[in-house]
Protein backbone atom coordinates (compact mmCIF):
# COMPACT_ATOMS: atom_id res chain seq x y z
CA UNK A 1 0.00 0.00 0.00
CA UNK A 2 2.91 2.35 0.64
CA UNK A 3 4.01 2.04 -2.99
CA UNK A 4 0.43 2.48 -4.23
CA UNK A 5 -0.07 5.71 -2.28
CA UNK A 6 3.25 7.00 -3.62
CA UNK A 7 2.11 6.11 -7.15
CA UNK A 8 -1.12 8.07 -6.54
CA UNK A 9 1.00 10.98 -5.23
CA UNK A 10 -1.05 10.86 -2.04
CA UNK A 11 1.53 9.41 0.37
CA UNK A 12 0.83 12.14 2.94
CA UNK A 13 -2.78 10.90 3.25
CA UNK A 14 -1.96 7.21 3.80
CA UNK A 15 -2.23 7.30 7.60
CA UNK A 16 -5.42 9.37 7.52
CA UNK A 17 -6.98 7.03 4.95
CA UNK A 18 -6.20 3.97 7.07
CA UNK A 19 -7.49 5.65 10.21
CA UNK A 20 -10.75 6.66 8.53
CA UNK A 21 -11.23 3.14 7.18
CA UNK A 22 -10.72 1.63 10.65
CA UNK A 23 -13.10 4.15 12.21
CA UNK A 24 -15.65 3.44 9.47
CA UNK A 25 -15.43 -0.31 10.10
CA UNK A 26 -15.85 0.25 13.83
CA UNK A 27 -18.78 2.57 13.12
CA UNK A 28 -20.49 -0.12 11.05
CA UNK A 29 -20.12 -2.52 13.99
CA UNK A 30 -21.53 0.07 16.40
CA UNK A 31 -24.36 0.51 13.88
CA UNK A 32 -25.90 -2.72 15.17
CA UNK A 33 -26.63 -0.81 18.39
CA UNK A 34 -26.85 2.82 17.20
CA UNK A 35 -28.19 3.17 13.66
CA UNK A 36 -27.21 6.83 13.33
CA UNK A 37 -23.54 5.97 13.81
CA UNK A 38 -23.86 3.06 11.39
CA UNK A 39 -25.46 5.34 8.81
CA UNK A 40 -22.71 7.97 9.18
CA UNK A 41 -20.00 5.31 8.94
CA UNK A 42 -21.53 3.78 5.81
CA UNK A 43 -21.84 7.20 4.17
CA UNK A 44 -18.24 8.01 5.07
CA UNK A 45 -16.90 4.74 3.71
CA UNK A 46 -18.97 5.11 0.56
CA UNK A 47 -17.61 8.61 0.01
CA UNK A 48 -14.06 7.41 0.62
CA UNK A 49 -14.47 4.65 -1.97
CA UNK A 50 -16.00 7.09 -4.46
CA UNK A 51 -12.91 9.26 -4.03
CA UNK A 52 -10.79 6.15 -4.56
CA UNK A 53 -12.53 5.55 -7.88
CA UNK A 54 -11.92 9.18 -8.79
CA UNK A 55 -8.21 8.87 -8.00
CA UNK A 56 -7.93 5.75 -10.15
CA UNK A 57 -9.61 7.52 -13.04
CA UNK A 58 -7.50 10.65 -12.57
CA UNK A 59 -4.22 8.71 -12.78
CA UNK A 60 -5.61 6.90 -15.81
CA UNK A 61 -5.58 3.38 -14.38
CA UNK A 62 -7.61 0.81 -16.33
CA UNK A 63 -11.26 0.70 -15.30
CA UNK A 64 -10.76 -2.85 -14.04
CA UNK A 65 -8.48 -1.51 -11.30
CA UNK A 66 -11.19 0.92 -10.17
CA UNK A 67 -13.79 -1.86 -9.97
CA UNK A 68 -13.06 -2.96 -6.36
CA UNK A 69 -13.40 0.59 -5.03
CA UNK A 70 -16.57 1.11 -7.08
CA UNK A 71 -18.01 -2.14 -5.70
CA UNK A 72 -17.24 -1.16 -2.10
CA UNK A 73 -18.73 2.26 -2.76
CA UNK A 74 -21.99 0.68 -3.90
CA UNK A 75 -22.05 -1.83 -1.04
CA UNK A 76 -21.59 0.92 1.56
CA UNK A 77 -24.20 3.10 -0.15
CA UNK A 78 -26.61 0.16 0.10
CA UNK A 79 -25.75 -0.32 3.78
CA UNK A 80 -26.35 3.39 4.38
CA UNK A 81 -29.68 3.12 2.60
CA UNK A 82 -30.65 0.18 4.83
CA UNK A 83 -29.71 2.17 7.95
CA UNK A 84 -31.73 5.09 6.64
CA UNK A 85 -34.85 2.98 6.07
CA UNK A 86 -34.73 1.57 9.61
Q: What pLDDT is stored for residue 86 in this prediction? A: 87
CA dihedral 22, 23, 29, 35 (to 10 degrees): -150
Per-residue pLDDT of the chain (86 residues; tens, 9 = 90+): 888 899 888 999 999 999 999 999 999 999 999 999 999 999 999 999 999 999 999 999 999 999 999 999 999 999 999 999 98
For residue 53, give Cα distances in angstroms to 19, 28, 33, 71, 86.
19, 21, 30, 10, 29
Cβ partners under 8 Å of residue 1, min gap 6 = 14
Closest CA to 39 of 26, 28, 50, 25: 28
Q: What pLDDT is stored for residue 77 in this prediction? A: 98
What is the pTM assigned to this prediction? 0.90
Amino acid sequence: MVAEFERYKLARFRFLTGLLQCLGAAGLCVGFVNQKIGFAAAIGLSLQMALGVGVRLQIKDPLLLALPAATYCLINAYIAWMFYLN
